[in-house]
Structure 1
C-alpha cells in the first residue's frame, strides 16, 4: 500500500533531520578521545538515554509486541533481570573501567591473561557487531517491505548509509545525542500507540484487561525448574547472564562509562539507561497484549492471514499503518527506524574504537599520530558500516534471520563473559588454563547453537542439545569459568605442596 503523503513527509523529515544533526558534530574540533568518548564531558541524562537506546533495537520494537500478542509476558522476565545486573555494573564494572583508563573494554583481559585474550575478545566483538548490525537492518526492512512494497535492498542501503554518515562524521557525541533524541521519539510513539489502542476499544479501556485476563495474557510463564522450556527462572537466569555480558564486556557500554564527567555521573547514567528499559519494555509487551484484545473484540478489522501464529510480528505494523491517525503513522515508522538506527550507530562507533585501540595501535602502528588516529577511526567506521550493509543484504533468503542472529551472536560472543568473570573474580589464574576454558566453552556454545540446524530424523539427531537455547550462554560461561578456576587452583595447590616439600 502507499503511505499517505503527510506520513511520508513526517518520516522523511525525521530521517533527514537526524542525519544532518549527527553529521553537524563533524565541524567541531576533535581529538581521537573526543571521537571515542566525547572527551569524557557528556551530561549523564544524555548518556543514560543513549544506553537505553542501545538496549532497544528495531527487533525489540517489533518482536516484543509480537511475542506478547502471540503468547504472554514470559519474555518480560528478561527485563526483570536488568536491575540486578545494573546494580552489579555500578558497583563493580563502572569503577573498574574508569580506573584502568583505557578506551578498550578488552585491555582488562590483557592485564590478566596476556595479549591473546584481548585479541580473541576484540575479534569476537567485531564479528558479533557485524552480525548484529546486519540482522537489525534486515529485520527492519521486512515489515516495511510487507506493508509498502519498498525494496528490501533499498531499505537496507538507505538506512545503512544514513546511519553511517552521521556515525562516521559525528563520532561518539553524534551517537549519544542522536540516541537521546531517538529514545525520546521511540517512547513518545509507543505511549501514543498504547493510548490509542486503549481508547479505541468498543467497551472502553477496561475491556483490554478483561479479554487479556481471560486468555492469561499477563502470565510470566511457568515457575517450574525445566531446562528445556522457557520457564520464569530460565528466562531470569538467561537475562542475568546476557545483561552481565552487556555491562561487563560490551564495548558499547564501556565507552559510555568513560564518556561521563566523573564516576558518580557514570553511575547515574548507567542506572537511568538500564532501569528506563524496564518500564518501556513493559509498555511494548502491553501494546502486544492490547492488540490481542483489540482484534479479539473486532476480529473483522484484521485480515484473516494475520491471525496465523507465524504472522504475529506483522500485526503491530498493520495496526500502525491502518488504524493510527494520519501523521501518527509517520511518527511510529520513524520510531521503528529510530530504534534500529540508534543501535547500528552505536555499533559502528564502538567497532571503530576497537579496531584502533586493539589492532592498529597495538600491532600495526604503535606510534601512530593524533591525526593518524582520527583518520583510522573515520576509515574504520566507514568500513564497518559498509560491511554491515553487506551482511544485511546477505541475510536475504535466510529462513529466520532472527534465529540466525541468535546462533551467530552466541558463537561469537558467548565465551567473552566467562573469560571476563574468570579474570575479575579468580585469583592467580594461569593463562593456559584460561585458554583451555575458552576452548571448552566455545565448543559447548557451538554445539548448543548449531543443534537446531540438525534435521529431524537425521542420524545426527542423538547429538542435538536437549536444553533450551537460552541456556547456551549460561552453560558456556559457566564452563569457561569453572575450567579455568579449578585447573588453576589445582595447579597452584600442587606448586605450593612441592615448594613445602
Structure 2
C-alpha cells in the first residue's frame, strides 16, 4: 500500500495554507526590512517573547523533529540529558554574554574577537561559521525531504527545490523581522503538532495509556544512561558536559542567536527571549523523546506495522547500494535484508511511517507542516545570519569600508540569494553524494571547534593578547584534530589512538584553548 494514499485533500489544504501564510509574513515585512538595520536587526524593536519563540524554533530543526523520537525509539532517554544542560548554558549566556552584545550593539557576533585579538580572530570565526551554515542548510533540507518524499509521494528533488526557494524568497523580502515572526508561528505549529501526535498515540494503545509505561519500563526505555565515571561511553555525565559546551556555543556565540538578542527592543526583552527559547526546548524535547517511547510501545503491540518499517528501511538500504527493483532476485534480497534490520536502524523511519499511515485526516497535514516549519525555520535563520556576516564581516570590512546604505543592502541581498541557492544546491547534491559531506563535517568540527574557547579567553582574561590567543587556538585545534582523526587511522597503534567518546572532543578542545591561554598569559610579561 502506497503511503501517499494517506495524504488526503484536507492534508494538502493545511500544508498549502501554511506555505501561503509563511510567504505572506515575508512580504508583509518587506517595507520594514529595506535598510541594513531593518534587515539584520529588525530595527531593534521586537518583543522578547517573539524572539524567544524564534530561538526555540531555530533550535528544534527538522532533524530534531524526526531524530529525537528515533533516538528514544531505538535506545533510551540518554540523549535527553543534552536538554537538561540548557538551563546552565542559558544562565551563563544571560549573565555574561548578553550584557556584552547589548552594550556594544554590534550586529556581528564576531566583532568582539577583532576588538580583543585582531582581524584574524574575527575572520577565523566568521569564515567557518558561514561555511558551516551552508552545510547545515543542505543537511536540514535533505534530511527533511528524505521522509517527506515518501509521505507525499513526490520526488525528493522537488521538495528540496520548493523548500529552498520558498525560504530564500521570504528571507530576501522580509529580513530578520519576517524570519522571527514566521519562527514564532512555526514554533506554535511545532508544539501543537507534537502534542497532538503524542495524545493520539497515547489514547490509541490497545490496553490504554498505561500500556505505554508498562512496555517502556520493562525495556528500560526511560533510562538516562549510566552514571559511572567512564569517558569512553555516552554516560549521563559525558552527555551533560557535552551539552553545556554545545549549548553555551549556541547561546553564547552563534550569530543567529546574537541577532535575536540585538533585535529585542531592550535588554530586559532580550533576557526574556533567551530564557523563553532555552527553557521551552526542555519540555518540548521531552515530548519528542516520549513520542519515540510511545512509538516503541505502539509498534510492539502492532508487529505488522513494525514489519512494514523494516521493509521500508531494507528497501532504502538496497537502493543506496544501487540495487534496483528491476534487478533479478530483488524481492529475495529485500526479504533477507528486512529480517536483519535492527530497532536502532528503524529509528528515524518510524515516526514518518506513523505520521503517514496512522494519523487521522488533517492531523497528518498538520504534522507535515510542522516538519516543514522546523526545516524552514532553521534554514531561514542560517541564511539570514550568513548574509549578515558576509555583508558586515567581509564586504564592509574589506571590499567597501565606506559603503552607502544602498550598496550595503545590495551586498546583503546578493549574499542572501547566493547562499540560498548554494544551500539548496548542497541539499540536491546530497541526494546522490553523502561521503563528501561527512568529510566536510569532520573538517568543520576541527577548524570550527576552537571558537567557543577563543570567545571565553577573550571574556575572561585581560592579559591574553593576539599571539597568545593564536597559539592557544592552534593547540586546541591540534587536540581536536587528534581526538577526531586518530580513531579513524587504521595503521595507528591502538594505544596511540584517542579512546574518549566523541562528545568530549569539543569539551577538551575548548578547555585546552581557554586553559592554555590563561596559563601562557600568566607567565608572559605584558609590554610596558
TM range, normalised to the smaller chain?
over 0.9
Paired residue for 1:318? 353
Pair 1:227 & 2:222 matched: no
Pair 1:130 & 2:134 matched: yes
Aligned pairs (5 A) from 1:257-406: 257-306=261-310, 308=342, 309-398=344-433
Aligned pairs (5 A) from 1:179-198: 179-198=183-202
Gap change, CA 1:446 and 1:79, over 3 Å in 2: same
- Report the Cα offset of residue 297 of structure 1: 1.8
Paired residue for 1:107? 111
After TM superposition, the score normalised by the length of structure 2 is 0.90
- Report the Cα offset of residue 149 of structure 1: 4.2
Gap change, CA 1:379 and 1:439, over 3 Å in 2: same
- Would you say the 8 A contact 1:125–1:412 is kept in 2? no
Indicate the larger mover: 433-442 or 242-251. Answer: 433-442
Pair 1:19 & 2:52 matched: no
Gap change, CA 1:29 and 1:100, over 3 Å in 2: closer
Gap change, CA 1:286 and 1:174, over 3 Å in 2: same
- Would you say the 8 A contact 1:135–1:401 is kept in 2? no
Paired residue for 1:485? 518
Unaligned 5+ residue runs, structure 2?
311-340
- Report the Cα offset of residue 23 of structure 1: 2.7
Inter-partner Cα distance in structure 1 for 2:471 and 2:71:
39
- Report the Cα offset of residue 16 of structure 1: 2.7
- Would you say the 8 A contact 2:309–2:350 is kept in 1? no
Inter-partner Cα distance in structure 2 for 1:101 and 1:29:
18
- Would you say the 8 A contact 1:135–1:405 is kept in 2? no
Pair 1:89 & 2:124 matched: no
- Report the Cα offset of residue 9 of structure 1: 2.4
Indicate the larger mover: 423-432 or 21-30. Answer: 21-30
Aligned pairs (5 A) from 1:440-459: 440-451=475-486, 453-454=488-489, 458-459=490-491
Paired residue for 2:121? 117
Inter-partner Cα distance in structure 1 for 2:195 and 2:201:
10
Paired residue for 2:42? 38
- Report the Cα offset of residue 317 of structure 1: 0.4
Paired residue for 2:462? 427
Pair 1:211 & 2:215 matched: yes
Indicate the larger mover: 313-322 or 442-451. Answer: 442-451
Inter-partner Cα distance in structure 2 for 1:444 and 1:33:
40
Pair 1:66 & 2:99 matched: no
Gap change, CA 1:461 and 1:121, over 3 Å in 2: same
Gap change, CA 1:29 and 1:432, over 3 Å in 2: closer
Gap change, CA 1:277 and 1:305, over 3 Å in 2: closer
Give CA deviations for 1:23-58 in whole Å, capped at 9, x if unaligned: 331133632111111101001111110010111100
- Would you say the 8 A contact 1:410–1:472 is kept in 2? no
Pair 1:471 & 2:504 matched: yes
- Would you say the 8 A contact 2:309–2:353 is kept in 1? no
After TM superposition, the score normalised by the length of structure 1 is 0.94
Task: Count how many residue pairs are aligned between Structure 1 and Structure 2.
Answer: 492
SS of the counterpart of 1:277? helix
Inter-partner Cα distance in structure 2 for 1:472 and 1:396:
29
- Report the Cα offset of residue 412 of structure 1: 4.3
Determine which of 439, 443, 447 is the counterpart of 2:474.
439
